[in-house]
Amino acid sequence: MDSEQFGKRSKAKSTENKKFLQQLKRVNWKTVDDFFHRAHEEVFAETDCLACANCCKTTSPIFYPVDIDRASQFLKMKPGDFVSKYLTIDSDDDYVLKKSPCVFLGADNYCSIYEARPKACREYPHTNRKKMVQIMDLTYKNTLVCPAVLEMVERMKLNKEFILK
Ligand code: SF4
Ligand code: SF4
């Protein structure tokens, strides 16, 4: 699915998916985790992130102090220079990238600071986390960014354990 098709599909499913993920907050968290973790493995086994990179193109990770230290060291820069060159502070008071696509994303969709990328990039899209029910709002937002998350949610809706009223 190309990015235009994904954009159309994710928007078309947006209202339904928001409601579905809200309702999952009422389901036993272990049942939800079991499904998401299994779907995460299955969907990523079929997904080529290098052909996508939509997360790096459209959203910014949060850079915590440890991320700034690691990335600036990798680039042989002073942390303060790294911050002033690449980062800004968002409405939640977190350091994020000044602009999208990410400045470290290459034309080939490789990350030029891959070994030193922020923790948020390593963990994106967070679908193998414990207690997924606590991040349903974030997961909904990620159905609009990440084709793999959209696919996991679509598979979940077909599972009889999750057919909710
Ligand atoms: S740092 Fe690397 S992995 Fe993270 S958003 Fe930028 S290009 Fe993507
Ligand atoms: S948006 Fe999802 S599928 Fe695309 S590169 Fe990021 S993690 Fe991979």
- Gap from CA of 78 to ligand 2 centroid (Å): 30
pLDDT score of 40: 97
Query: Considering all CA atoms of the chain, what is the largest pairwise distance in Å, rounded to the nearest integer?
Result: 55
**Nearest CA owner, ligand 1 atom 5:** 56
- The torsion angle over the Cα atoms of residues 50, 42, 125 and 141, rounded to 10 degrees, is 110
The whole-chain average pLDDT of the chain stands at 94
pTM confidence score: 0.93
| Cα–Cα–Cα angle for 110, 47, 123, rounded to 5 degrees | 65
For a mutational test of ligand 1's pocket, the pick from 117, 119, 124, i.e. the residue with the most ligand atoms closer than 8 A to its C-beta, is 117
Question: Three-state DSSP class for 126?
Answer: coil
**Nearest CA owner, ligand 2 atom 8:** 49
Instruction: Of 66, 104, 63, 67, give the one whose Cα is nearest residue 87.
Output: 63
Contact 106, 112 (CB under 8 A): yes
For 123-164, the pLDDT digits (tens) are 999 999 999 999 999 999 999 999 999 999 999 998 877 665
